[in-house]
Amino acid sequence: MAGNTDGKTDFDVIVIGGGPGGYVAAIRAGQLGLKAACVEADKLGGVCLNIGCIPTKALLSSALMVNELGNAGGHGISFDGLAVDLGPAQARSRAVANRLSNGVGFLLKKNGVTHIEGYGRLAGGGAVEVERDGERRTITAGDIVVATGSRPRSLPFLEIDEERIWSSTGALFQKRAPASLVVVGAGAVGMEFADIYNAYGTKVTVIEALERVLPLEDRDSSRAVAQAFKRRGMDIFTSARVESTVARDDGVTISFTDGRGKAHALDVDYVLSAVGRIPNTEDIGLDAAGVRLTERGNFIAVDEATRTNVPGVWAVGDCAGNQLLAHKGMHEGVVAAEHIAGVGHHTVDYGNVPNCTYCHPEVASVGLTEEQARDKGLDIEVGRFPWVANGRALAAGDSTGFVKVIRDRRYSEVVGAHIVGPHATELIAEFVMARHLESTVEEIDLAMHPHPTLSEAVAEGALGALGRALHI
């Protein structure tokens, strides 16, 4: 154990923040026999569970159902007067989130973790000040894990007010789909909400400053999703620069310049700002404790075991930088707790974190893009297997996209995998596991995949990277 173990502290471990990274760290600490506390000022589960990952996926499930109903004729289903209403879907998403938030409280209790309601700040020397309803108290521990998360970024020309200019939070709580919406930012959050609102009848326009949507993904993935969204009637502007937004009582005027230098001014009902997130690292006592931040982005600087520069202080999740993803934060929480308990035998592999976007078509990836692999000078072979050649995808009527595997010829390792299409976010786990186990592409093929399944496309993509796919 890294901190004080002489029994003179209130707890062995205090976790500041009850989001995915925080509550998982606290649970794992409890499982390892440590006396743990989790300090949270809001609902347990953090942004992801309450106003992020979970409720948006509930809405995306509803949006997918709406889109499938539009194609029900091919299944022999016909009806008159199809009407869609965002309100019930939004209420359902809140019910799902609330149920899981309550479940986190149960899990903390089950594992002997003390849940302390209040706002936590580092006070130095193993102390945490907890503020609630104007009252403050101090608790102590041998080790402290900071898991304070992040929040939406607001820009000078795109000031979020949650009235006419939404963050993802504002977009999540709407009970009515507006006639028109501009989404600024075509990362995962922007594309997911574009999918939801388009399904419920909103005219959606997407504006992205970089040259393509989903700019962190492989170019082929970005292209496939952009084409799919355009077929659904969405307008997409890339390499575009927003100049100003003027909010009124009845709408917003957004002015921007497109990639060709042409000026546009759109009058729309609402604008969604999805231009990234910033860490919650202010007013949490980092200065008092002497914790160092990164030079860029004001994230807490950590090593691969989530240690900060101060012995006994750790940081996990969005506030610790790297990928701002819930599963990355959860993994960090486990790593931190195990190292605190003295049983840590692994660190965080930040090169093997899967990226997932849950729009339709889904997008998932792990490792390097083709461009990154070539820029590194790797001798690669690329296999690509389209869903139109997969029987299960065709049977389900969902054959947009592909599986793409990038193989290093030297050792035949999977240096990158990219999936666009049905259940991509589930299938990517096979590639994550393969990379973790340092499997070769040949070994993926030799592991028999059932037929007919979507997972066959994983094996076919691997065969494609060997130049011998069977079904294309």
Q: In this structure, what are the phi and psi dihedrals at residue 30, rounded to the nearest 5 degrees?
A: -65, -40
Q: How would DSSP label each residue in 9-44?
A: SSEEEEEE--SHHHHHHHHHHHHTT--EEEEESS-T
Whether the CB-CB separation of 220 and 400 falls below 8 Å is answered with no
How far is residue 399's CA from residue 422's CA, in Å, rounded to a whole number? 7
Show the CA angle centred on residue 116, arms to residues 144 and 324, nearest 5°: 55
CA-closest candidate to residue 279, choices 47, 104, 60, 436: 47
CB atoms within 10 A of CB 443: 15
| CA gap 212, 208 in Å, rounded | 7
Q: How many angstroms separate the CA atoms of 15 and 213, rounded? A: 36
Distances (CA, A) of 88 to 53, 93, 200, 360: 19, 9, 12, 21
Amino acid sitting at position 98? N
Please confirm, yes or no, whether 451 is among the known catalytic residues: yes
Residue 193, both tokens: 């909400």
Structure tokens at 191: 């594309």
Task: List, in sequence order, the alpha helices (H) in 32-150.
Answer: 46-51, 53-69, 86-110
The SS3 call for residue 132 is: strand
Q: How far apart are CA 17 and CA 39, in angstroms?
A: 6
- Pairing relation of β-strands 180-184 and 270-273? parallel
Q: How far, in Å, CA of 273 to CA of 21, rounded?
A: 25
Report the residue count for the chain. Answer: 472
Task: Tell me the two tokens of residue 86.
Answer: 């965002």
> What whole-number distance in Å separates Cα of residue 264 and Cα of residue 352?
40
HSE-CB at 431 with a 13 A cutoff on CA atoms is: 35
Distance CA 184, CA 205 (A): 8
Q: Which amino acid is at 327?
A: H
Which is catalytic among the residues 331, 418, 436, 451? 451
Enter the tokens of residue 365. Answer: 């990836």
Alpha-carbon dihedral sign for residues 436, 20, 90, 159:
negative
Catalytic residue set: 451
